[in-house]
Amino acid sequence: MESRSHVFQISGIKNRDEKRVLVQGILQLGGKYIGGSVYQHASTHLIIPQVLSSEKFLAACAAGKWVVTPDYVLDSVKNGSWLAEKLYEVAISTGASSAFYPVRQWRKNVVSGRLAGAFQGWKVLLMVQEPARRAMFKRLLVAGKAEVYNIPPPSHASITHVMAKPMTEKSKSHNAPCFPVSHIVQHLFGSNCADMHFNVTGNHPGLMMMKTSFVDVDFSNLETELRTHVIKQEGRPRLCFLEFLGYHDPYRLQSQATETDFSNVGSMIECGLFAEALDSIRNAMFPGFLPPASHLISLLEYAQQGSATSVFRRNFLQVMYNLLSTNPPWLPPSRVRKYFSQVLQCPRCKTGLWPFLQTNISYCLSSEVTCHPLPELAVPTMIRFHSDLVAFVLRLFQGELHSLTSGDFVLAQGTGVSQASASGSLLYGTFWTVWERSTLLSQAVKQLTQLIVQAATEDYAERDERQRLHLANTLLDLLSVLVEFWCQQHFKLNQNLVENGLSNLAEHFAVVSQDLSPEVLAELVVRVSSTRLKLAMTDAIFRNLCCRNGFTVGDEPLSLKKMVLSYLPALGSLAQSPGGARLRTAPTPHSCSSQETDCRSVTHSCQAFFVVGVWDISVVFYWRVRRMEGDNGQDIGHTLILYFSLIFRLFSILGVCVSVVCVLDEGETLLHRACKRNQVETVLQILALPGTDVNVEDHAGWTPLHEACNHGSAACVEALLRHRPVPVLHNQVAGVSPLHDALLNGHTDIAKMLLEHAGSVLLQRTDGDGRTALDLVPGTSQREELLHSAEVGDSALRNHATEVLNLPLLEVGSSLLLHLIFSYQQERGLPGPAQASDKAHSLGYRLVRALETHSHREVTLGWTDPRAVRLVEDVETLLELRRGMYLGQVSQAIKECKGQNTLFLMEILENLKSRAEAHVTDL
């Protein structure tokens, strides 16, 4: 029988096992446990390991409740009955031999009847802008028996206190004393809260020692500092080129550049004496020298012919590099940029720098897609020359990026010449039209990604022939430069634009590179020099690799928590993927990444035709189902599924890949409806159709698994869990996960099924009200059954997949994931360590300290910058790693794997754990 005199809440205990022992002890002695993240008036006791600046603790003080240490329950269990609480009350040490009991005075007053609560008689006008904080302060005041009013207060109310956050002139205009919300703490503890660092202890030796604060913490300043840190991190130069191009005099006046009369050189070119003309230009080189653009164009055209010698081509490139060194186009005068833009284009077509680049790259790839036919395709010396031209243009673009980010190239003061603007740069003019500058994925950038895929294919195919051109490396460097250039021009104005641009480019690359083997993709990631680009590309390639092997990961923004909670389990699935991915060194005949044939357009047109035809017929079926609900409706729905299956098989024979979802009312699909009605045979038939999305959502966000759990369709839940890929079990709609949905509707059998499948990780998730799954179960026996099911699931997960079935794929996944972690730390790293003398004021120290005493939600409450929120979540993830969480997500197969990349990944994860330990040790 439950003891109504012992109704407990718990605060400040994050370890799930410790909390479970306490709850079991409470129930064993006949007490009652109330879960939840907010104070409950029905409670009589609050268990805390130390004094906290939390709502539950402050409310318990105001209400005169018992506030005891965990040892009160543990020792009572050993005693077999409830002990006296007095010895276990939490106390604050105020000196060498004295202690202050923060709750005792209010508890005695309430028990004796002198007061109903600490705030008795208060009539409070609460002026707190943020809704969640306002609700918290209202609960706190009401717990102490205060009357709380909204704005405007009733006319009969005689306001005694105005409490505001923040304090404004408006809050001071009412006819009552105005206080900050921290006055609540001052009233409860008086002079004992003057010192911000209390030594917390108790009358029992088992109580932990720590420092804490009672003041209402305002973390808005922390958000501002984190935002500044993120902006500084985002704006730093990524690609630095030391001693770029070997400049000897970066302060010289560029106005010295002149176009010298070289009529004799023109005559030599007209007479076909190209080598002599080039030698004349080489011998006349000096700072500021600019030969006529027409002469260089003619010499370039000759260099592209088969009759030119290797020496001539080498000397031509030397002239171009000398011109770049003495007349950098990123510095004034602007006519130098125009000069290079005239020279660097096809001598015949003269359509601009990008067609010139594209032609040179295509020639190196033995492709016929050039602006005009070039002679002697695939001659090694000619391939080398065109590859060197691409490298020269890369060098030019690197100079533009370098000048705009590092500030190394500064003009002498008093010259009256300003540095060239980014909008007039050759980079912008090459890769973005005027209408494309707000998007990273321009038409030229798309074509460049296609060329990178082709170059990587050839590079891998000819590796045994020791080809040393490595065109893919040059093109990846080119992509890195233009990405850094574009991002640095936009991140200060629109951070979302930059993130979306990077995401779109990465997703595009992941799609067009699907014909490359996973090994080649992993090598490409290693070669990317821009960490910003590497982070986006690796993330997209990893998710695409998972999708191609039959399972998906969430599309929420990338974070450290996502990597350890989603990507590590996904890595275990890669290790268990049957068979090995076959290495392909060239696109298949029907490849979507083919330069000439875009099979996607054919497939899309077939899909469009198919959808229209299916829709016309399906509408008839659908309305018949609507008019004949019940058994007849079920029969017609079954017929509709058979119809879809037949159509899919027909198109499979034709070689067309289609994916069609019949959407009914409010976004509901046939799979949703079958799960609601527990039509398991229909569910199995739908899941057998190609392209079926097991996680498809209706307009409200509900998945088929949600519907099955909500309506008690146990057979459908079992069918969904057996499907591959398995449905996402942690997806929440308005805070309701499938597990919460099952328990809220009394379907304990389904809840146990989910826990046996996914383990205790599901019990850690809370709903919108902060309740875990166990908080929704009132009976002790039911909780024990759920805990047992979770243990069964954990055991099954530990024993599952002890052997790696696909080592090459696991090694690729491990390589991608460790590069993802590296790039993430470089791009979104935590604030660096401070000097020992300034440690207490450093941003990293205060952030870790805040998370040691407050939850992530409390720290970021009311924050508007998602980047700052994500940084706090990353720190919290590190702290959870320190406590031993998350690494349990790593399957036994991965832990025991001896692959080089996998071993390295395990070391990286241990280093993350050690890093978190170092952060906490500094406190």
CATH code of 84's domain: 3.40.50.10190
Does residue 721 register a pLDDT over 60? Answer: yes
* Count of domains observed in the chain: 2
Query: What's the rounded mean pLDDT across residues 208-235?
Result: 63
Q: Which residue has the higher pLDDT, 286 or 218?
A: 286
- Give 109's pLDDT tier (boundaries 50, 70, 90): confident
Within a domain: residue 362? no
pLDDT of the residue at 558: 85
| Bond into 152 cis (ω within 30) | yes
| Whole-prediction pTM | 0.60
Measure Cα distances from 200 to 211, 449, 533, 847, 849 in Å: 7, 60, 48, 21, 16
Within a domain: residue 321? no
pLDDT of the residue at 595: 36
Does residue 775 register a pLDDT over 60? Answer: yes
CATH code of 693's domain: 1.25.40.20
pLDDT digit string, tens, across residues 659-683: 445 555 566 788 888 898 888 888 8
What is the secondary structure of 449-471 as a DSSP string?
HHHHHHHHHHHHHTGGGT----H
Q: How far apart are CA 360 and CA 203, in angstroms?
A: 81
pLDDT digit string, tens, across residues 390-431: 999 999 998 888 887 765 433 333 333 334 456 678 888 889
Within a domain: residue 632? yes
pLDDT digit string, tens, across residues 786-826: 888 888 887 776 665 567 778 888 899 999 999 999 888 88
Q: What does the CA dihedral 720, 725, 727, 729 come to, rounded to 10 degrees? A: 120
Query: What's the rounded mean pLDDT across residues 825-847?
Result: 65
Instruction: State the residue range of the domain holding 166.
Output: 7-212
Does residue 585 register a pLDDT over 50? Answer: no
pLDDT of the residue at 464: 42
Which phi and psi angles does 784 have, rounded to 5°? -60, -40
Within a domain: residue 613? yes
Within a domain: residue 666? yes
Neighbours of 632 (CB within 10 A): 12
Within a domain: residue 443? no
Within a domain: residue 417? no
Q: How far apart are CA 357 and CA 390, in angstroms?
A: 6
pLDDT digit string, tens, across residues 161-209: 888 776 666 656 667 778 887 778 878 876 554 443 333 333 333 333 3
Q: How far apart are CA 536 and CA 410, in angstroms?
A: 33
Contacts of 750 (CB under 8 A, 6+ apart): 708, 709, 712, 714, 717, 742
Contacts of 483 (CB under 8 A, 6+ apart): 440, 502, 505, 530, 532, 533
Within a domain: residue 822? no
pLDDT digit string, tens, across residues 853-904: 777 777 887 787 888 888 888 888 888 777 766 676 677 778 888 888 888 9
- Give 374's pLDDT tier (boundaries 50, 70, 90): low
pLDDT digit string, tens, across residues 4-57: 689 999 988 878 888 889 999 999 898 999 888 888 888 999 999 887 778 888
Domain closes at, from 155, 189, 212 = 212
DSSP secondary structure letter of residue 709: H
Domain closes at, from 212, 235, 262 = 212
| Bond into 166 cis (ω within 30) | yes
Measure Cα distances from 8 to 15, 73, 683 in Å: 17, 10, 44
Q: How far apart are CA 622 and CA 633, in angstroms?
A: 9
Domain closes at, from 799, 820, 852 = 799
pLDDT digit string, tens, across residues 541-582: 998 888 787 666 666 788 888 888 778 878 887 887 765 443
